Structure 1
Amino acid sequence: MALNIVIMAAGKGTRMKSALPKVLHKLAGKSLLRHVLDTTAGLGAAQRLVITGHGADQVENAVAGPGIAFVRQMPQLGTGHAIQQVVPHLPDSGSTLILNGDVPLIQAETARRLAQACGGDKLALLTIELADPTGYGRIVRDEQGGVRAIVEHKDASAEQRAIREGYTGMMAAPTAALKRWVSALKNENAQGEYYLTDIVAMAVAEGVPVLGIAAPNETEVLGVNSPLQLADLERRFQRRQAETLMEQHGLRLADPARFDLRGELICGQDVEVDVGCVFEGRVELGEGVRIGAYSVIRNARIAAGARIHEFTHIDGEAAGASVGEGALVGPFARLRPGAELGAEVHIGNFVEVKNSSLARGAKANHLAYLGDATVGERVNYGAGSITANYDGANKHRTTIGADVHVGSNCVLVAPVEIGSGATIGGGSTITKAVAPGELAVARGKQVGIQGWIRPTKKR
């Protein structure tokens, strides 16, 4: 039986107080709508239709992809009106699952269970029991417990508002019946809108079974209407991710409440992560890795036994970045795309590495820059030294052989090659190749002036 999925994403989100369409606000580094699309990708739907409205061009450009079609709702006259817009795109058979683009944490299993409950001949509503269901449509049941109607909060009586079972805004319906029902909707209510929830009474009148399917938990069905709600959902989601990593992989978090994962984190055994760390993109942490407080790591591989000290920033972007076994990085270090650190490499405070490889045991411990460089084993790269890799138009590479010692405050002007075992005297600007084992000094001769008097301030 064909399954159609409709995702409503046309609302403006006035309470967000933002120029950005509500469904494009981010949760864990990904838009609310993208969360829903990713969840539904594996449900085997014949088609996925996204209803856009406010900021339609922006929303469609942000999430366009294979298997995703868009239908516009202009103007926005309620949820029923939204579904009326997709009616021409729906077949006359199968089931239609309706989800919300601002309810990002619905799980695939819950959505699948809702669609299966429909079975092509029943109306299945996803419901939730809440201590305070303010704002939710109330599920009105008959004496036998069957669902008789949904009453929107604004139209509910005092008695109906006392009902704690609320409608989540998500349902699955027989497609042919859904098309018939929404075509008959009227806007005779307090808001002058077409409510999709009115189809429940139509189904009851036709004798179509109406099922209330309970959501597993509140977090799955919470929507985002304000920055406060978005922040609350962010913490709920992060806590869930933290608990999963701790339970399934033994990750040791100093404080799960101060942990942010905005992508995928793969952990070996005995990994420790201190407070305030942020992981984005795809990050792999080998066995025994330790991550210091307030580090940001994005698209990187960190091998077993490596230590990332506090306040380190690693951003591999598309190229990725890697840290070898037993390496030490930070504090206050920065690894940029293409940084490849071998085993036991040391990168110290305020050192930046970009598009460079450092072989086993190489060290750059203080205040240095390595860009577009190949660094051999056991190189000692002095404080304040840089590779001058950019000539104003093009990038050039620096090659440093094994066992080279580069003194403090040196400039290696690329393209240039430093042979194995060479020594670069402190304060040198190197523009020519240095032979293996050679000492290279390139600086002005020191001059001492006797009897010189320092100027004094005129009064």
Structure 2
Amino acid sequence: MAGLDVVVMAAGKGTRMKSRLPKVLHRLAGRPMVRHVLDAVAALGARRVVLVTGHGAEAVEAALRPGAGQALPFALDFARQEPQLGTGHAVQQAAPLLPEDGTVLVLNGDVPLITAATLRALAAAAADGALAVLTIALDDPSGYGRIVRDARGAVRAIVEHKDASAAERAIRETNAGMMAVPGARLRGWLARLHNRNAQGEYYLTDIVALAVADGVPVRAVTTEDAVEVAGVNSPAQLAALERAFQRRQAERLMEAGVRLADPARFDLRGTLQCGADVEIDVGCVFEGEVSLGEGVRIGAHCVIADARIAAGAVIHPFSHVAGGAVDKGGAVEVGEGALVGPFARLRPGARLGAQVHIGNFVEVKNSTLAEGAKANHLAYLGDATVGARVNYGAGSITANYDGVHKHRTVIGDDVQVGSNCVLVAPVTLGAGSTVAGGSTITKDTPAGALAVARGRQVSIEHWKRPVRTAQGR
């Protein structure tokens, strides 16, 4: 949207959060609240955003600077509000950084679920030089500014709760805390604000009455969605908003055909793409970018992050599939019909082919397993290339780190690795070879060979165990 600039107020301390962390950095769906607001703004084509910081300013600014997370499609500036003297005072700090030839959206950094569609409607209502405010009717409007209209229904003012008369407090239509202001008028109105009110603050909402006095049209854009305009002031409010958001995500997935065992016990903290007939049991968490192919089943209490899981695969309960950044090749890949878990861990760079089995308490990191390979119990595969149909025994590990560098283990097709083996990388096991249980392998093994690397068993007959004596106790 051409000529659109945005101010995001994020200076508040959030005393009721009872936390050293600045309020806007508290997470909802795995991301800081203020980041959700900026994501909504990103869809608008804004040319500039000014974030007003105050309490914990250094931490907030560091979390949002380039390189601190996902890139933003607009110029981001910061303005400091110290001390914090109200919403009008906050926007006064941002005003010198704003052009005067467009529309300025003023938003709150602690209202994380505002949608781009609503913001677009708000900005459009002010596109001809009007002032637009976002409103919502509440059954209990206590604490909110009231929208005062005249006999013809035109908006005349916003009166804050503490300054409202009994008649004004009976009004159910409230200020949702966001407005769109003509840039050419903003600085003049801000200069006319005063703090002669119950809270001794400079209210941004007072510019509504100033606009009316100046003959500028004031329009109300009304929403009925209390969740998208809900602010967060306490851990309880944050938790309630988290559950409302997660329920909406769960409902969208179920409408698309995903079977959730219990939508109240589901958490999505990123993006999730699902094919047909996907089943997800209770207590699962999805983070980053995850795709589930047709017929995938996710067992109870799994954490799946940055992963591509192909059709027919099963992730059994209590497994942790934790990929790295998708754009850097760290995503975990699980092939068709593969079985993972329970209690398995797949780390960044794990790539499982079709019909691979990864069993309980098996960890795979930066390793590729070809079709039909199996590691069913208590094993570690790190920095390894594993061929087809390999059977990797319980308790076996790749010793991939020499204290300075990581090294790779290559296991050919049809290799059998016995239990409790250590494969000291770099090492290659030839196709069809066998490693005897308990062996420590430090040299390459030929194809088809049996490798045994362990001490010879000695049995001492008539040996007696030491007996604890009374004195020894």
TM-score by length of 2: 0.95
Alignment partners' CA distance in 1, 2:359 and 2:80: 54
User: What is the one-letter code of the residue matched to 2:340?
Assistant: V
2:218 equivalent to 1:207? no
* Equivalent residue number for residue 134 of structure 2: 126
Alignment partners' CA distance in 2, 1:69 and 1:439: 66
Q: Which of residues 348, 353, 371 in structure 1 aligns to 2:359?
A: 348
1:32-431 aligned at under 5 Å gives the runs 32-65=33-66, 66-247=74-255, 249-318=256-325, 319-431=330-442
Alignment partners' CA distance in 2, 1:256 and 1:18: 30
User: What is the one-letter code of the residue matched to 1:244?
Assistant: R
* Equivalent residue number for residue 69 of structure 2: none
3-state SS of the aligned residue for 1:219?
coil
CA offsets, 1:327-386, max 9 Å, x none? Answer: 000000000111110000000000000111110000000000011111111010010111
* Equivalent residue number for residue 71 of structure 2: none
**Structure 1 position 215, deviation (Å):** 1.4
RMSD, aligned CA: 1.2
Alignment partners' CA distance in 2, 1:419 and 1:450: 39
**Structure 1 position 428, deviation (Å):** 0.9
342-351 or 157-166, which deviates more: 157-166
339-348 or 147-156, which deviates more: 147-156
Alignment partners' CA distance in 2, 1:424 and 1:414: 15
* Equivalent residue number for residue 26 of structure 1: 27
**Structure 1 position 312, deviation (Å):** 0.4
Alignment partners' CA distance in 2, 1:220 and 1:62: 23
3-state SS of the aligned residue for 1:69?
strand
Alignment partners' CA distance in 2, 1:404 and 1:141: 80
Alignment partners' CA distance in 2, 1:40 and 1:158: 37
**Structure 1 position 442, deviation (Å):** 1.2
CA offsets, 1:3-58, max 9 Å, x none? Answer: 21111111111111111111111111111111111111121223211111111121
CA contact (8 A) 2:10 2:24 kept: yes
3-state SS of the aligned residue for 2:228?
helix
User: What is the one-letter code of the residue matched to 1:270?
Assistant: D
User: What is the one-letter code of the residue matched to 2:286?
Assistant: F
3-state SS of the aligned residue for 1:125?
strand
Alignment partners' CA distance in 2, 1:399 and 1:277: 34
3-state SS of the aligned residue for 1:435?
coil
Structure 2: gaps (5+ residues): 67-73
Alignment partners' CA distance in 2, 1:338 and 1:173: 49
Alignment partners' CA distance in 2, 1:94 and 1:355: 50
Alignment partners' CA distance in 2, 1:431 and 1:179: 74
342-351 or 10-19, which deviates more: 10-19
Alignment partners' CA distance in 2, 1:121 and 1:327: 60
Alignment partners' CA distance in 2, 1:122 and 1:377: 68
CA offsets, 1:75-121, max 9 Å, x none? Answer: 11000111111222233332111111110111001001001111232
CA contact (8 A) 1:52 1:70 kept: yes
* Equivalent residue number for residue 6 of structure 1: 7
Alignment partners' CA distance in 1, 2:199 and 2:227: 28
**Structure 1 position 449, deviation (Å):** 1.1
CA offsets, 1:391-419, max 9 Å, x none? Answer: 11111111111111111111111111111
Alignment partners' CA distance in 1, 2:348 and 2:87: 45
3-state SS of the aligned residue for 1:170?
strand
CA contact (8 A) 1:120 1:173 kept: no
Aligned-residue sequence identity (percent) comes to 69
**Structure 1 position 64, deviation (Å):** 2.0
Alignment partners' CA distance in 1, 2:339 and 2:390: 15
3-state SS of the aligned residue for 2:104?
strand
3-state SS of the aligned residue for 1:111?
helix
**Structure 1 position 451, deviation (Å):** 1.0
Alignment partners' CA distance in 2, 1:451 and 1:157: 99
CA contact (8 A) 2:137 2:224 kept: no
CA contact (8 A) 2:296 2:311 kept: yes
**Structure 1 position 207, deviation (Å):** 2.2
